[in-house]
């Protein structure tokens, strides 16, 4: 790939990605794994190293345990499909001649979407939705006057719901802050 071609198709760091481009990239699990790898390790990275890591995630093993057939399958699709598409959108910088992938400002922009519920993290939005639904159900039950809920005064019910919501929000905030501080500390160590 010539330098002229690369410059002519590159996005400006000020260009925004469209929702369509973002969804197109994130809809594919391999492309999400590429972004996760780059978020954690940065770039530039060789295609072989990236393919081993992506294959390890797909096959739920360590990069050393990936078979050559598994690695080759991932390597080929990254090389022929995923990385060129991500490069064209300006999400990564892919040098196909040298097999090197590097980050762009858009890589960081997209990794934010991976943080919504990374891996097997607890889905907080579902928790808060459930908490809201339970609270509304209790209000409706109290309004209708269904026994035994009427044995407890409405102010006590409201206090219990407020306390549960507040404790949940404090815990969620603490967990999110802890993850952010841990990631920040790890990135600081890598840069030094």
- From 82, 114, 146, the end of a domain falls on 114
What's this model's pTM, rounded to 2 decimal places?
0.54
- 34 with 86: CB under 8 angstroms? yes
* pLDDT greater than 70 at residue 168: yes
pLDDT in tens, 76-97: 988 998 889 888 888 888 988 8
From CA 99, how far away is CA 150, in angstroms rounded?
69
Structure tokens at 143: 């309004």
- From 49, 82, 114, the end of a domain falls on 114
User: What local confidence, expressed as pLDDT, does residue 158 receive?
Assistant: 92
Residue 42 domain-assigned?
A: yes
Number of domains the chain is built from? 2
Whether 23 and 91 share a structural domain: yes
Element (H, E) at 101: strand 100-103
Whether 10 and 93 share a structural domain: yes
Domain residue limits at 72: 3-114
Whether 51 and 104 share a structural domain: yes
Residue 77 domain-assigned?
A: yes
* pLDDT greater than 80 at residue 125: no
pLDDT in tens, 31-60: 888 888 888 887 788 988 989 988 998 888
- From 64, 85, 114, the end of a domain falls on 114
Residue 119 domain-assigned?
A: no
CATH number for the domain spanning 51: value is 1.10.10
Whole-number mean pLDDT of the chain?
A: 78
- 86 with 10: CB under 8 angstroms? no
User: What local confidence, expressed as pLDDT, does residue 6 receive?
Assistant: 42
């Amino acid at each position: 790939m010539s330098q002229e071609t690369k410059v002519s198709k590159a996005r400006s760091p000020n260009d925004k990605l469209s929702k369509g481009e973002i969804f197109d990239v994130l809809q594919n699990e391999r492309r999400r794994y590429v972004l996760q790898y780059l978020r954690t390790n940065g770039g530039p990275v060789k295609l072989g190293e990236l393919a081993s890591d992506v294959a390890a995630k797909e096959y739920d093993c360590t990069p050393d345990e990936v078979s050559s057939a598994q690695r080759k399958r991932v390597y080929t699709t990254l090389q022929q499909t995923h990385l060129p598409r991500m490069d064209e959108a300006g999400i990564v910088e892919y040098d196909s001649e040298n097999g090197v992938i590097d980050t762009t400002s858009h890589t960081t922009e997209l990794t934010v979407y991976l943080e919504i519920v990374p891996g097997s993290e607890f889905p907080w939005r579902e928790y808060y939705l459930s908490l809201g639904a339970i609270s509304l159900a209790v209000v409706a039950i109290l309004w209708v006057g269904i026994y035994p809920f009427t044995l407890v005064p409405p102010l006590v019910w409201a206090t219990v719901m407020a306390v549960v919501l507040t404790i949940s929000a404090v815990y969620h905030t603490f967990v999110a802050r802890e993850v952010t501080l841990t990631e920040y500390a790890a990135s600081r160590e890598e840069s030094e």
